[in-house]
Amino acid sequence: MALILPPVLVDALWAHAERDAPRECVGALGGHLDGAGAEAVALYPLANVSPDPERTYLADPGHLLRALRAMQAGGLTLVALYHSHPRGPAYPSPTDTRLAVYPVPYVIADLGSRTLRAYRLPEGTPVALRVEGRGD
């Protein structure tokens, strides 16, 4: 499957990552599923409440619940989760893989090399990212 991200959401995601650095940022993407893939149309920044936020992330459960409810109210579904790696790399850490529970792509923003990648976890299968469209 492919994940479509409109440029405006990619910009918002990088802005969130830069704002939270050197801590990792975390957030959710809401959108529409369409056959072979998904298109994100809304970005929900979440608080990283990990006790070690420069190395790991843990989305504030209350924030995540509110984001999921906002998606539902807007006719959207969770299409991806994202977090940043302030010093790279652009692939999942062992902790990312171990703690992954959602059946959606995990987007990783590597601020070191300015690379955005997505994976299915815990399998580690890469997901194609396409930056296009306009968002809502």
Contacts to Zn ion by CB under 5 A: 93, 96
Considering 18, 24, 39, 54, which one is annotated as catalytic?
A: 24
What is the rounded CA–CA span in Å between residue 18 and residue 111?
Answer: 8
Distances (CA, A) of 5 to 19, 52, 53, 107: 20, 29, 26, 11
Query: In this complex, which beta carbon is closest to Zn ion, that of residue 6 or of residue 86?
Result: 86
How many residues does the structure list for the chain? Answer: 136
Please, what is the Cα angle at 97 between 135 and 90, to 5 degrees?
55
What is the rounded CA–CA span in Å between residue 72 and residue 53?
Answer: 29
- Beta carbon of residue 105, minimum distance to Zn ion (angstroms, whole number): 14
Query: In this complex, which beta carbon is closest to Zn ion, that of residue 14 or of residue 32?
Result: 14
Gyration radius (Cα) of the chain, Å: 13
- Beta carbon of residue 66, minimum distance to Zn ion (angstroms, whole number): 23
Known catalytic membership, residue 132: no
Residue nearest to Zn ion (CB): 96
Query: In this complex, which beta carbon is closest to Zn ion, that of residue 41 or of residue 47?
Result: 47
- Beta carbon of residue 23, minimum distance to Zn ion (angstroms, whole number): 12
Active site (catalytic) residues: 24
